[in-house]
């Protein structure tokens, strides 16, 4: 698959891999802690736009419910 035919997700992943290859020591702390903390990029990339939208709505409604009942 050529660079002009790749999806945005594939392009992001290719650029991330290039950055890791070009600067391996700059990202060492991130890579060591990624398995513990997770990564927002990995979460959003795995969910897609619908899953990300649902996650945002759940967070907003959760905050509203918390504000109404516990304040």
pLDDT in tens, 8-29: 888 888 888 888 777 766 656 6
Which two tokens mark 71? 């304040």
Helix or strand or coil: residue 5? helix
Angstrom distance (rounded) from CA 58 to CA 40: 16
Angstrom distance (rounded) from CA 41 to CA 45: 6
What is the reported pTM?
Answer: 0.44
pLDDT over 60 at 71, yes or no: yes
How far are the Cα atoms of 3, 19, 24, 39 from residue 27, in angstroms, in the given order?
25, 9, 6, 13
């Amino acid at each position: 698959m050529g660079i002009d035919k790749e999806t945005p997700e594939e392009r992001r992943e290719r650029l991330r891999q290039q950055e890791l290859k070009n600067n391996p020591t700059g990202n060492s702390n991130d890579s060591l802690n990624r398995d513990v903390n997770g990564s927002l990029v990995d979460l959003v990339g795995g969910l897609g736009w619908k899953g990300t939208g649902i996650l945002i709505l759940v967070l907003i409604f959760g905050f509203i419910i918390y504000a109404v009942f516990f304040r």
